[in-house]
Chain A
Amino acid sequence: MDHRVNQWTWTRWPRHDSLREALLPNLLVPIDLHDGVPTGPSLFALSEGRRAAHAVGVTVFAIVMTERHLDEKVAAHLGRAGADKVLSCEGPGLGAPPLDVTHGAALYAAVERIPPLLVLFPAGGAGPQLGPGLASRLGGAFAASADLEIGEAATPLADGVARIFVRRWRGDRTSYRRLDPVELERPVVAILPSGGPPADRGTEEVEVEVITCVPPAKVGISELASEADDLAAAALASILVVVDPALGDAAVAKISAAAPAGVAVVDAVAAAPAIATCVPRVVIGVGARGAMVWGTPRSRVGAVLPGAPAPKQQRPPADVLLRVPAGGSLDAIVDDLIASLPALVARAPSEPRS
């Protein structure tokens, strides 16, 4: 146990039942369940938490909000992905898709129980709904698309003890901000990217603690209709191809039909709501409106732009740029891109380099 790391305490936190948990830095991962199954980004977030835990010494908690008793298989799955413990917030209405007004209080109950150093929401899930409200309640920092960096602090805490930073990328990709929760003395709430298949870093033997939640007295919200989200796959994607509709419906359809498993292809305009919540690892924008996607400092963004740049045209915020030469065939470029996508799926890094 490193006592300097354990200086992470907050005097205004309420009393905790577990002295050990009150003193240790904790990393919380709210889990998104689709049809009762944890989403890929949720497992990746746990996996990332476990990676950080090895270096920094944090305890990784998975938070599940559910209407009824948590399935043991789900708990085992979360443990295998990297959770040390599972907090199961159980109460009426918590099985519904999360909103701050219906789920915010339950999440806050878990956070009061286990004071966090970091709260890591998975991509494509409840992060945009619950993350800002939680950060606001905690007085903490918020990063809508971020990744973790393990490194030494400017002022080392102790020999051999690493620090965990959250890096938040600007939309124009000109810079990022490095948030250090220890230095801030406040928790950081962040949404992690969809990093591909998680590495099973933990064990199925995981302790489950139940927090019984009372529903809010007056919600003021009622569900009128519900259907399967046709853009859910795009929001969860770790490899995303965003196509400018100006290129025609046929271009989107052609790339979608040929895309290998693991690649989501969307229309840049029609899928704007899903694009707003996704945090993919690799993005390829096709067309002028294709590359307007957020990411993390570790995300890789490619852009395929038709035509030569206009004199005043700004360089798009991409790491790799392919300009279709004047008079060149975009169809041929799209065909070549389709042929290259399997290589991207096979070789795209799913494990972040620290």
Chain B
Amino acid sequence: MNIVVCLHTPPPDPDGPGLGRDDAHALVHALTLAQAKEDSVTALLAGTSHDATPLQRALVAGAARAIRLGGEDYASVDFHTLGQALASGIKHIGADLVLMGARSDDEGLGAVPASTARNLGFPFIAGVEELAAAGPRAVEIVVRGGGRKRRLRVELPAVLSIVAGPRALPAAFNRTGSPRSIELLTLTDPETTVVRRRTELLGKPEPASRGAEEVKSPSDLITALIR
């Protein structure tokens, strides 16, 4: 079984792990699943060479391959375009199971996994907390919704978005690997040109209009919150 983990570049944080929170948990689930079944894990990221830190972390953590989708400035595209690009890359690589972090750490839409699934033609399930093997072509997952916590058996292929849970991340995530090990995949999909027009969906950014107010007591905190 080929497992692809899609990563994104988190906001700059010198003290951070270099991986998005949900992305890191997706990678841990993929590596744990692969270890149990002797499957391979490929880390995939759309971005420039400057954005490749998450791929380095994935290689050090145990991913067999790390592939960067190049050729476009993915930092300013919307989730439709990014999903299409990732899907094109995944089709090229080949995947039975695609894992992605539920939300990015900056815009936090959680829409790229759904867009990727749609472009792949795979079923999509969001907010997966736990993941385990369930035979050669299926996995067991835990999701919440509708007031229920459910364990489901999902036949592959599928795209699952992973939400960060209580599981601790391995220490290997704090080291870096050699950037030379990262493969480059450039997409030449003529349809991408059409989809890129949708970037206006990002809307107009507006600066925050208020700063943080410092208070001295809990009652002042409550008063300020309801002011």
A interface vs B, CB < 8 Å?
Answer: 32-35, 96-101, 125-126, 128-129, 131-133, 135-137, 139-145, 167-168, 170-180, 184, 186, 219-232, 235, 269-270, 272-274, 276-277, 282, 284, 294, 300, 302, 304, 312, 315-316, 318-323, 333, 336-337, 339-341, 343-344, 347-349
Contact = CB atoms under 8 A, between A and B. Distances in A.
Closest 5 interchain pairs by CB? A97-B146, A132-B114, A220-B155, A177-B203, A132-B111
A178 B206 CA distance: 7
A139 B114 CA distance: 12
B73 interface: no
B164 A276 contact: yes
Nearest to A315: B212
Contacts of A228: 147-149
A273 B144 contact: yes
Given A100-B123, A176-B205, A277-B127, A128 B110 contact: yes
B114 A224 contact: no
Interface in B59-80: 78-80
B222 interface: yes
Contact of A273 (B106, B155, B163, B223): B163
B105 A171 contact: yes
Contacts of B226: 282, 300, 343-344, 347-349
Interface of B: 11, 14-15, 22, 78-80, 83, 102-111, 113-115, 117-118, 123-127, 129, 140, 143-155, 158, 163-166, 198, 200-208, 210, 212-226
A179 B143 CA distance: 30
Given A221-B154, A272-B163, A132 B225 contact: no
A193 B213 CA distance: 23
A64 B216 CA distance: 47
5 contacts: A177-B204, A220-B155, A269-B166, A276-B163, A312-B14
Given A129-B145, A322-B220, A142 B214 contact: no
A128 B127 contact: yes
Contacts of A136: 79-80, 83, 111, 114-115, 118
A269 B125 CA distance: 22
A17 B207 CA distance: 43
B108 A144 contact: yes
Contacts of B201: 140-141, 179, 184, 186
Nearest to B217: A336
Q: Which of A272, A274, A343 has most chain B Cβ within 10 Å?
A: A272
A99 B158 CA distance: 13
Nearest to B112: A132
A99 B102 contact: no
Contact of B80 (A139, A178, A277): A139
Contacts of B163: 272-273, 276
A170 B146 CA distance: 26
B105 to A, nearest CB: 6
Contacts of B105: 171
A211 B139 CA distance: 33
A175 B222 contact: no
Given A139-B80, A340-B221, A176 B208 contact: yes
A152 to B, nearest CB: 15
Contacts of A99: 125, 143, 145
B110 A144 contact: yes
A135 B114 contact: yes
Contact of B217 (A235, A282, A322): A322
B162 to A, nearest CB: 10
A336 B123 contact: no
A129 B224 contact: no
A272 B113 contact: no
Contact of B103 (A97, A144, A219, A315): A144
B149 to A, nearest CB: 4
A184 B145 contact: no
Contact of B166 (A33, A227, A270, A312): A270
Contacts of B106: 170-172
Contact of A179 (B110, B118, B203): B203
A274 B204 CA distance: 29
Most buried by B among A35, A173, A321: A321
Contact of A132 (B126, B151, B155): B126
A344 B222 contact: yes
A226 B148 contact: yes
A194 B81 CA distance: 31
Contact of B152 (A223, A282, A322): A223
Contacts of A294: 103, 108
B207 to A, nearest CB: 5
B121 to A, nearest CB: 12
